[in-house]
Chain A
Amino acid sequence: MTENTQSTEIAGDERFPEEELETLTQHRSLWGDVWRQFRKHKGAMAGVIVFIFITLAVSLGPLIQGIEPSAINFSERNFGPTLAHPLGTDNIGHDTLAQMLAGGQVSLAVGFSAMLIALLLGTLIGVLAGFIKSLDGPLMRLTDLFLALPILPLLLVIILLFRDTLRTLYGPEAGIFMLIVFVIGITSWMHTARIVRSDVLGIKEREFVIAAHSIGTRKRRIIFRHILPNILSPIMVSATLGIANAIITESALSFLGLGFPPDFPTWGRLLYDGANFIQITPARVIWPGLFIALTVLSVNYIGDGLRDALDPRLRGR
C-alpha cells in the first residue's frame, strides 16, 4: 500500500496551471480513494442498496405492518396471498409477511454476529499460525481438534451447561441468542483459519515484507499494514460463505430443539418449517429462501467491490 500523497506547491510555474494545482493539493486519503473506487463498482453499489433495503425492511417493516408475528388466526390457515395477508399464512395461522420481517431481524443479527466471531477467530489464528513459526504447530493441531469434534453432542453439552444460567441472567430469547451465536462462531472458524494461514505463509516470503522487516518494522505493524490487506480476498469469500452458513446452521439447530423457542421466527426456521408445505403454500418457502440468497448475494458483491477497491493495482485505472 502506498503512502499518502502530499502535494507540494510549485508557485508560479507555467507547467502547472492554477486549476490543476487546486486538484493536486486536494487531500486524497487512502480511504477516500477506496471509496471512490468502490463507487465505480456497479455490483457493489447494487449490493449496498439491496442490503440497506433489507435492513430497513426488517427494522421498520414490523412497525408499518402492525401484525404481531406470533398472532394466530385459527380460521385463516394455509391462505395464499390476499390483501390482509400479502404473503399468505402458514398452517397454524401466522401471517407470513410478519414472520418474514421479524425473522429477518433475528437471522441478520445471528448471521452477522456469528460470522464476525468466526471471521475474527479464524483470521487471528490463521495469521498467528502463518506468521509465527513456533505457534504454527499447536494452533494447527487446535484447528484439527475443532474440525474433528462432533457438533451435535458438543451442542447438547453446551446447552446443558449454560442454558439455564443465561436464561436467568438475560431472559430466554437474549440468552439463547448469545448461546447460538457463540456456538456457531466457535465451530465455523477453522476453514477461514486454514485458508488465511496458507495465504500468510505465501505472503510472508514476498519481497516487500522482507523489505519492511529489514528496515526494522515491528511485527504488529507488518501484520496490519502489509499482510492483512493482501489476504482480504479469501477473508471476503469466507465472510460471504459464513453468513449463509450461520443462517442455515441456526435453522438446523432449531430443528434439533437446540435453538430459539419454536414460536420465534427466523428465516432458516421458516424455510425449514415451510419445506413440507411447498405444494400447498409455496410462498412460505420461496420468500425466506429468496431473502437468504439476496442477503448473501449483496454481501458477496460488497465484498467483491471492497476487494477491488483495496487492490492498489486496480485503483485509479
Chain B
Amino acid sequence: MSENGFKTFFRMGLVLLAMVLLLTPANLCAEQEGIDSDDMPCNTYIWDITGNYDTPLFEDCEMTMTLVQDGKGKITGSGDGICEMYIDDDDEGFWVWIDYEFDVKGKVTQKKGIGVVKLNVKIAGMAEVDIEDLTDLKFRAKQRLAALINPDTLTFDGVVKSSGCIQKVGCGKEVFENYSADLPIGMDGSWFLATNNIDDDGKKIMGESTLILANGNQLAMTAKGRINARKGEAKVKFSGVKTDPGAKGSSIMATVDEDENVLKMKGKVLGQQIGCK
C-alpha cells in the first residue's frame, strides 16, 4: 500500500457518507468529510440533554424544567411547577396546593455504552391546604433522579426519590419508580466528526476538525496523528481546543484503515466515555 493512499484519507468525499449527512439534523454536516457515528463498528452515542422538559418529577404535579449540559457533562437548570394533591392522613384527608420553583444540578455520564443521568433538585415554594388558617406555608423539598438513557426510545428512565416539608403541616417522602422523560427533539446520540481541515504529509496527520452533535452544537477539535503505512492504518487523536469551554477536556483517539473505516475508537466527550474496541 502506498503512503500516498493515505493522502486521500480525510480528503475524499464519500458518496455514502454524503448521503447519510444529508439526512442528519440541521443538515450541518452536508458536503463535509469525516467520521459518522452511524458508520462506527459499534454503538457510540454522545448525549447532550440540553433542552426543555415537562414530565413532572413529582407525581400529581405539573412542571416545566430547562436543563443545560456543559462540556464536562455537568448539568445546571431551573424550573417551576404546581401541585394539587390529596393527602390521606390517618384521621382524615386534606387537599394541598403547592406553587414551587427549583434549581437543578447534575451530570450525564457514560460508561461501556450506558448513558446515565443524575439530577439533584432543590425546591422552594409556597403551599396552601384546605384546613382553616393554613395559608402561605413554606414548602421545601429535594429530589434525586437517577436514570439510564435508552437509545431505542430516546428517553431517560429511572427513579426519583423526593423528600419535602410543608410548614406547620409536616414532612413526607415519595419514590417515583417509573420516571421517564423524552430527550429533546433531535437528540438521538448521533454525531459527526468533520475532518475537512485535516491534512497529512504521508507520515503525520494534523489539522482542525469539528465534532457536530445531534442537537447542532459544535465542538472545536484539533487533530494530530501518525500514518503507519506498513500496517495500512492511521491513528489520529482529536482533542477539544482548550479555548472552547464546550470542547475542553474532550478527546477521541481513532484508528482508521486505508478505506476510511474506523477500526478502533476510544475517547471521552462531554464527560462521557465512548469507544469501540
- A and B: real partners? no
